[in-house]
Amino acid sequence: MNQPLLGALAASLVVVTACGGGGASSTSAAPAATAVVSHGTITGFGSVIIDGLRYETSRAQFSVDGTSGRSQDDLSVGQRVTVRGTINDDGSRSAGEVAYEAELHGIVASVDLAAGSFVALGQTIVVDASTIFSGVADLSGLAADNYIEVSGSRTADGSILASYVEKESARSELEVKGVVLELDATLKQLTIGSQLVDYSTATVPTGLTLANGSFVEVKGTLVGSVLMATRIAQEDDFRSGDRGTLAEVEGLVGALAEDRGSFRIGPTLVTVSGSTVYEGGSAATLVEGVKLEAKGTVQADGSLAATRIEFKLSSHGGGDDNGGTFGAEAKIQATITALDASARNFSVLGVTVKVADTTVYRDSRDEVRSFGYSGLAVGDYVELGLVEIAGELTASKVERDDNDSRQLVQAAVDSIDAVGEVLAIAGIAVDASTASYKFNDATVSAEQFYATVAVGSKLKAKGSYNGTMLVATEVELDVED
C-alpha cells in the first residue's frame, strides 16, 4: 500500500501585496490551488508526465515500493504511480508526492509467446506493443524462473495488462496484489488469481477484515508452490486524508454493474450518475475492458464519484461502438522519413503516424530522460506500439533505438494480391515476391501461405524499405494449432 510521505498538502496560497498610501499594507487571498490525487501511467519526464499531464517535481518526495527517500531517477516510463499535488491557478500542476508500487514482484512460471503472455505468482500477465521492457528486449527474453517486476492494469478477467516489465535480480521477498478468492478463515488461506496464499503467520493490520472480493497486497516468500505471507494489507489508491479531494484514476474497466452505475479500476470503485459527462464515448459505450480515466471526488467510503469519464485510445477491451477509441494493435520498427511538428505526426514506411497526449516516449539510443515528440528527427530509428482505427495509426508508444537497416511491420492484413505476391499491412505496401513465407516459424510454400492467409489475419513482415514499398525478406503468419 502507499505510505504517507507528506503532511496535508496546502489547500490555498496566500499572497501578501503592498498597497499605496502611508506605507500601509493589506493581505489578500489568491485564488486557491486545488488539491488533486492522480493514479496513472508515467508517459514521459522533464518533471514527471502522467497520462500526458506534466507535474513539476522540484519539491516532490518520491517513494518506490513503500521506501521513501527515492528520486525521480528511480522511476521509468510505463510505471503506474500515484501523485498527490495541486492544480495551480494557471492550470499548471505541482507534485508534493510521487509514489510507485509494483503490481507484482515474482518468479516466472511459464511464457507463452504465441499468446503474448506469461504467468508469475498465479497471475497471467499480458504484454503488447506498448509494454515497456527493462533488462530484456521483449517477451522472448523471459524464461521460467526469472525474477520479474510488473506494473500495469487489471483487466476484467483478472489478468494484468502490463505497461512495464523488468527482469530483476533474485529477491527473497515477493509481492502480489489482487482480489481475494477462496478465503478459508480457519486455515488462514486464500488465493489471488491461481496463487495459493497462506497468511497464518502474517502481520495483518488491526481492523482489516479479509473477505472474498476485497483487494489486497501480499508480501512473502514461496515455499514450494505456496506463497507464505509475511504481511497482508488492504490495497487502495486513496488514503483517508484524500476524502473530499479531486481525483483522477486511469485504467481498465472491470466489475461493471448491470445498470452501468458503477465499475472498478483496480481497487477503486467508481460511481457514475446522470450528471456524469462523457468524452470520447457515452454511458452506452461503457463496457468491461475499455480504457478510460475517471475524474471526480473521493468519497467517505474511498470510492470515486465520477463527474467526468474520458475514454482513452486502446487496442484492448471495448468494441466497435465505444466512441472510436478502440482499435487494432499494430507494431512497426522503422526509420522516420518525415516529420510534421504542426500536425504532431511523422512518417514511416510510407504511412503517417499520429501521436496522442498519452503516447509513452522512451529513448533507448541516447537515454535522454526528457525525450518526447520534440526530440524526434528524420532518420531516427523507432519502435512503435500503435492503435489502428479506420486506417489511421496513432502511437501508444514511441521508443527511439539504435539505427537498424531492418524494417518491420506486424499488424492485420488489409488486402492480398496472391498473384503479384503483394500485401497491404496497416496501410503499408509489402512486396513479398522474394520473401520466405512462414507459419509460426515453420517455412511453407507460397501456395500454402496464400491458401491460408486472409484479410484480417495478423502478419509480421521484415525487410527493407525502397521508398514506396517494404521489400520483405520474411513474412510470417501466426496460425492457431
Q: Where are the beta strands (DSSP E) in 158-290?
A: 160-168, 174-179, 181-184, 189-192, 195-198, 215-223, 226-234, 246-252, 262-265, 268-271, 277-279
Fold observed for domain 328-401: OB fold (Dihydrolipoamide Acetyltransferase, E2P) (2.40.50)
Residue from 67, 64, 87, 68 nearest 248 by CA: 87
- Least confident residue range of 42-46, 226-230, 402-406, 461-465: 402-406
How distant, in Å, are the alpha carbons of 57, 72, 106, 270 from that of 2?
18, 17, 19, 19
The DSSP string of 227-250 is: EEEEEEEE--S--GGGTT-EEEEE
Residue 144 has pLDDT above 90, yes or no: yes
Cα(101)–Cα(1) distance, integer angstroms: 8
Burial class (CB in 10 A: 0-12, 13-18, 19+), 372: middle
Give the architecture-level CATH label for domain 14-100: Beta Barrel (2.40)
Task: Express each pLDDT in 257-304 by its tens digit.
Answer: 999 999 999 999 999 999 999 999 999 999 999 999 999 999 999 999
Cα(246)–Cα(261) distance, integer angstroms: 20
Task: Express each pLDDT in 396-406 by its tens digit.
Answer: 999 999 998 88
pLDDT of residue 1: 46
- Least confident residue range of 53-67, 220-234, 235-249: 235-249
Kindly compute the dihedral angle of the four CA atoms of residues 67, 71, 72, 78, in this order, to the nearest 10 degrees: -30
Residue 30 has pLDDT above 80, yes or no: no
396: Cα separation from own chain's centroid: 9
269 by DSSP, 3-state: which?
strand
Count other C-beta atoms under 10 Å from residue 10's C-beta.
Answer: 12
Fold observed for domain 174-234: OB fold (Dihydrolipoamide Acetyltransferase, E2P) (2.40.50)
Cα(63)–Cα(79) distance, integer angstroms: 13
Residue from 356, 346, 427, 345 nearest 390 by CA: 427
339: Cα separation from own chain's centroid: 26
pLDDT: which is higher, 253 or 8: 253
- Least confident residue range of 7-21, 323-337, 384-398: 7-21
Task: Express each pLDDT in 422-461 by its tens digit.
Answer: 999 999 999 999 999 999 889 999 999 999 999 999 999 9
Q: Name, in order, each residue with C-beta under 8 angstroms of 205's C-beta and a sequence gap of 6 or more.
A: 233, 234
pLDDT band of residue 207 (cuts 50, 70, 90) is: confident
Fold observed for domain 408-477: OB fold (Dihydrolipoamide Acetyltransferase, E2P) (2.40.50)
Residue 18 has pLDDT above 70, yes or no: no
Cα(259)–Cα(255) distance, integer angstroms: 12
Cα(197)–Cα(179) distance, integer angstroms: 12
Give exposure, 292-301, as e/b (b: 16+ Cβ within 10 Å).
bbbbbebbee
Task: Express each pLDDT in 180-204 by its tens digit.
Answer: 999 999 999 999 999 999 999 999 9
Fold match between 104-168 and 328-401? Answer: yes
The DSSP string of 283-346 is: GGG--TT-EEEEEEEE-TTS-EEEEEEEE--BSSS--TTSSS-B-EEEEEEEEEEEEETTTTEE
The CATH homologous superfamily for domain 104-168 is Copper binding periplasmic protein CusF (2.40.50.320)
Residue 203 DSSP code: B
Fold observed for domain 240-311: OB fold (Dihydrolipoamide Acetyltransferase, E2P) (2.40.50)
C-alpha cell at 324: 472510436
219: Cα separation from own chain's centroid: 23
Q: Where are the domains of the chain?
A: 14-100, 104-168, 174-234, 240-311, 328-401, 408-477
